[in-house]
Amino acid sequence: MKVHKRMIWLFYTLVEIFIWNCPVRAALVGERPVLHMAASILNDMLWLPLAITLPVYIILLYRRLFRGQIVRDISTFLFVVLCVTMLANIELLFRLQFVFLSVFFVLWAAYIRKSRTVSIELAFFSLALCGMIMHYRAQLLPSFAASPPGLSIMSFNINTRAALDDERTVQFIRKRFPDIVCLQEVTMHDQRIILQKLGDLYPFYLAPARGFGRNDVMILSRKEILYGDHIPLKTKSQHAVNHAVIRYDDRHINVINCHLHHAYRYLGELFTAPDAAGTYQMLSDAFSQQQEQAQALIAYARTLNGPTILTGDFNDTPNGTVYRLFDRSFDNAFAAAGWGLGATFGKWNIQTKLPDALAGFAFNSFRIDHVFLSREFEILTAQLHAIGAFDHVPQIITVVLK
């Protein structure tokens, strides 16, 4: 049985390498869209089994190290109640992982010193924990910084489950009042309302362009927009991107707002659709379109002079092939300065598939909305601000020029 447990955590570490390491996965499976998409979906779920098991090992080590039956039993009971309660708030559970990890490694070191033995099972489990630490890095560390002076940028996909919910969007933007607002999935109706009710705060804007492919992105700015254009991504689906050159501190910065093709909608249908072969072909085509759009966008961004901000709904998680294209040349704001999972999507869609009694346990599990910045920027803060009724979570970051 002990050998079996040891192998579980060793195998889990290998799974981490495959899921979380895009170059290794690409070398092993090549261009297989189903495997890459499945790995991308599992990105922010792979830590959960570790987080659930971690308190169990903490309790075992604690009870082996300390005497006093009554005190041990009471403290163990309170700790179990705390851990079970936190399962109702996945984001909080993730944010507290740095506490659990610290306690575990301290107790294990104390146990090794006391028993003068090293458990192979705990060693393999620690290896899996190290994989999680290496993957999330700064996201595991607390960040209590208030919004410091600097340039603030909001990225927000405003698709909503509530009809005509533009007023909620308007009030949220007014309350947060960032310098630059990048919106995705903007309809012409949304555009009219936004310009009418936010024109006093944002005198400069770059609106969606009619007849320009699927261009549902919009940029609002308190700073002067010196140049604005709609950039077509010349792929099969003809998405477009907004590019604004904005004056900031007597320098010009590029702001690119995008909404890339959504390839994952076919993945769930692959095993249920009557025509699996046809569905697989649609999935492969959608995956290829998304890759082509990302490559066209990164190629365009590399031609620009000066500091560049690339933001929007990328429809890809941090271990996906699209994310990796941008991560090579740009810094991701949340990965650098955020605390927590940073998941921006999923809760709404999961709720629609669960019984009403279980809908409250749904949580956002996909970080697909990103803000990438060129190396001229120093990233100060990156925070999510959940709003009811919307299927995406807006992100606000603060930066300064180095």
Whether residue 165 is contained in a domain is answered as yes
176 with 247, same domain?
yes
Whether residue 310 is contained in a domain is answered as yes
Counting the structural domains of the chain, the total is 2
Q: What is the mean pLDDT of residues 33-48?
A: 91
192 with 322, same domain?
yes
Closest among 376, 366, 272, 274 to 314, alpha carbons compared: 366
- CA–CA separation, 95 and 367 (whole Å): 15
100 with 167, same domain?
no
Q: Which of 71-85, 273-287, 359-373 has the lowest mean pLDDT?
A: 273-287
- The pLDDT assigned to 389 comes to 76
Kindly tell me the sign of the dihedral angle through the C-alpha atoms of 174, 175, 176, 179. positive
Whether residue 144 is contained in a domain is answered as no
Q: What is the mean pLDDT of residues 240-253?
A: 93
92 with 184, same domain?
no
Beta bridge partners of 232: 240
Whether residue 127 is contained in a domain is answered as yes
pLDDT at residue 43 greater than cutoff 90: yes
230 with 350, same domain?
yes
Residue range 305-320, pLDDT digits in tens: 999 999 999 999 999 9
Residue 89, SS3?
coil
Amino acid at 240: A
Q: Which helix (H) or strand (E) holds 242?
A: strand 240-248
- Name the domain boundary from 75, 106, 139: 139
pLDDT at residue 211 greater than cutoff 80: no
Residue range 61-92, pLDDT digits in tens: 998 888 777 878 888 888 888 888 888 889 99
- The pLDDT assigned to 325 comes to 93
pLDDT at residue 184 greater than cutoff 70: yes
372 with 240, same domain?
yes
- CA–CA separation, 204 and 307 (whole Å): 19
128 with 217, same domain?
no
Q: What is the mean pLDDT of residues 99-116?
A: 95
105 with 242, same domain?
no
* C-alpha 49: how far from chain center: 19
- The pLDDT assigned to 213 comes to 63
102 with 201, same domain?
no
Whether residue 146 is contained in a domain is answered as no
Kindly indicate the confidence band of residue 183, based on its pLDDT and cuts at 50, 70 and 90: very high
- The pLDDT assigned to 237 comes to 65
- CA–CA separation, 44 and 334 (whole Å): 14
Kindly indicate the confidence band of residue 238, based on its pLDDT and cuts at 50, 70 and 90: low
CB 370 within 8 A of CB 326: yes
108 with 186, same domain?
no
State the average pLDDT for the chain. 89
328 with 201, same domain?
yes
- The pLDDT assigned to 1 comes to 47
Q: What is the mean pLDDT of residues 23-35?
A: 89
Beta bridge partners of 156: 183
- The pLDDT assigned to 215 comes to 74
Closest among 85, 171, 93 to 389, alpha carbons compared: 171
75 with 182, same domain?
no
- CA–CA separation, 42 and 287 (whole Å): 17
Q: Which residues contact 356 (CB under 8 A, 6 or more apart)?
A: none
By residue range, what is the domain housing residue 41? 2-139
Q: Whats the size of the chain, residue-wise?
A: 402
CATH classification at residue 206: 3.60.10.10
Three-state DSSP string of 306-358: CCEEEEEECCCCCCCHHHHHHHCCCEEHHHHHCCCCCCCECHHHHHHHCCCCC
Whether residue 145 is contained in a domain is answered as no
* Other Cβ atoms closer than 10 A to 375: 11
Residue range 329-357, pLDDT digits in tens: 999 999 999 999 999 998 877 777 777 77
Q: First CA to last CA across the chain, in angstroms?
A: 56
Kindly indicate the confidence band of residue 212, based on its pLDDT and cuts at 50, 70 and 90: low
Whether residue 396 is contained in a domain is answered as yes
Share of the chain above pLDDT 90, in %: 61
Residue range 154-182, pLDDT digits in tens: 999 998 777 667 888 999 999 999 999 99
Residue range 111-149, pLDDT digits in tens: 999 999 999 999 999 999 999 999 999 999 997 766 678
- Name the domain boundary from 76, 110, 139: 139
Whether residue 262 is contained in a domain is answered as yes
- CA–CA separation, 273 and 270 (whole Å): 6
